[in-house]
Structure 1
Amino acid sequence: MNEELTYESAYTELQLIASEIENEEVSVDLLSEKVKRAAILIAFCQQKLRATESEVNNIIKQMEGGK
């Protein structure tokens, strides 16, 4: 289901789902499906942010060690 998913595309899709739910544009029949997809996107974004934070921290540590 991660068809070359990027943080930006996941975040954009998540915003769209949230907007549809807030504006009551989602039928009851599709609500469960939309919430499940939102949960997947949230988990993906959280993982991506954690990985990026870790990578940036490692780079900073390497830079500080080189002084």
Structure 2
Amino acid sequence: MENKYTYIEAFQELKQIVAAIESGHSNVDDLAAQIKRAAELIQVCKAKLTASEKEVEQLIMQLQASSQTEST
């Protein structure tokens, strides 16, 4: 699945799918497709969160390295 969604877009669509399933307004014929789509959206969200976490970790390491060189 192409990762063309923002985290917010993917999460909002995922919430809509969950709400439809929980409300009982999903018919049995569409349930499998909704669950498959939800799984895809979860992967998008997970990838975005992982990428953000790595970026934050790199920024923290850069800040720590910068503060260590300034204090010497």
TM-score range (shorter-chain normalised) is over 0.9
RMSD, aligned α-carbons: 1.2
Gaps of 5+ in 1: none
| Residues 34-62 of structure 1, C-alpha deviations (whole Å, 9 max, x = no match) | 00000000011011101100000000100
1:2 deviation in Å?
3.7
Q: Which residue of 2 aligns with 1:15?
A: 15
Amino acid paired to 1:32: A
Gaps of 5+ in 2: 68-72
Write out aligned runs for 1:1-67 (5 A).
2=2, 4-67=4-67
Are the equivalent residues in 1 in contact too, given 2:3–2:44 (CA < 8 A)? no
Structure 1 Cα separation of the partners of residues 41 and 9 of structure 2: 9
The percentage of counterpart residues that share the same residue type is 40
Compare the two structures and name the one with the higher helix fraction: 2
TM-score by length of 1: 0.94
Task: Count residues in correspondence.
Answer: 67
TM-score by length of 2: 0.88
Segments ≥4 residues shifted beyond 4 Å: none
